[in-house]
Amino acid sequence: MINLTPHKIEVRYNGVGMTFEPSGKVARVAMIEKVVGDWAGVPVISREAGKVEIPEVPQGEPILVSSMVLDAMRQQGIQMEAYAPDTGPTAIRENGNIVAVTRLVKL
């Protein structure tokens, strides 16, 4: 699996750990912002996902991306073997920071 995030991703499950180092390539999603009003003089925007940019990887190789990229891929109908770390309540935290995940989210 190729890690297309800028961060090391550690997965721990049933006493086994796997570390996915950053590949040096990063999948990104452009964000489209629109000013929709203000609140007490502070600008308020709406934000939606724009185009997903996925670097070239060997064909058939699964990829690991951020949950934001995975959600945008789903919305845009992009079909490939892609996963994101599950940073929800099952993630392993130390001092409030995620240090590992126990599950992956599939596209």
**pLDDT tens profile 26-55:** 999 999 999 999 999 999 999 999 999 999
Q: How far is CA 46 from CA 12, 38, 39, 93, 98, in A?
A: 36, 11, 13, 31, 28
**pLDDT tens profile 60-85:** 999 999 999 999 999 999 999 999 99
Domain ranges for the chain: 2-106
